[in-house]
Structure 1
Amino acid sequence: MVARAGGSGNRKSGKFHQGLIADLLAFAKGEFTLDERQSDGATLRQHIAIVAKQSGKIPEEYVFPDCPEQLRYLWQLFIDFCESRCNTGYGILPLQYAEIEAWSRLMRCPLTPWEVSVIKRIDGAFMQAQMKEKKA
């Protein structure tokens, strides 16, 4: 079962949640940026780790926000969904609502519409990062 922020399954996406969602999306985009493969095959994360080891600090432009604790479960769900993502042979496909709904049914863990919306927004950022990397 998914550990959710708060005790209510009937959460609405108010101003507080909008701020958390923005933080989660910034975290996700940072993760996708750090995972980009460079021309030598290593990830940007690996390059930055070398720079940090040599200089003792991470370049400021590569310091991204942490995942908000209250929405960490949505990030973990996204990661879990990615493990079963479809691939056409030409590339990966975006997460489908049917896949999310099937997971929800199988795991007996209903997701609220705003939770699904946030997962799809993370996936949109992921797909953009994948297209960017594919073009490079």
Structure 2
Amino acid sequence: MALLGKKSQAKAVQPDLPEFPWELDYLWGFFNELSYGLKSDGMGPVMASWQDVQAWSAAMQVDLEPWEKKVLVRLAWINAGIQSEKKPVGGQNQN
């Protein structure tokens, strides 16, 4: 039975997020470019390995510092974690 005029879901409370670190925006762009070429094996979220980062930086002729390579791999891990989160079925809360 549907109740007309009544909202069935409360808004989720979002914590205050820190500002985007614009000084590192170039790394976000690099990560997005790197992600275009990553392959999926169909068994889970797409990951970037050290070899993927090395191959991308060589192909794009981008000389990265070791800490920048670590950031790109870490972003891939974070992205894979987000991609593997379970989504609600049908977009609705099951109460």
The reply to whether residue 131 of structure 1 matches residue 77 of structure 2 is: no
- Whichever residue aligns with residue 77 of structure 2, its letter is G
Number of positions where the alignment pairs a residue of Structure 1 with one of Structure 2: 79
Q: Which protein is bigger by CA-based radius of gyration?
A: 2
Q: 2:21: which partner in 1? A: 68
Q: Which has the higher contact order (CA 8 A, sep 6+)?
A: 1
The CA RMSD measured in Å over matched residues stands at: 2.5
Please, which runs of 5 or more residues in structure 1 have no aligned partner?
A: 1-50, 52-58
Please, which runs of 5 or more residues in structure 2 have no aligned partner?
A: 1-10, 90-95
How far 1:134 sits from its partner (Å)?
Answer: 6.5
Return the TM-score normalized by structure 2.
0.67
Same amino acid, percent of matched pairs = 27
Is the helix fraction higher in 1 or 2?
1
Instruction: Judge conservation of contact 1:81–1:100 (CA < 8 Å) in 2.
Output: yes
Return the TM-score normalized by structure 1.
0.49
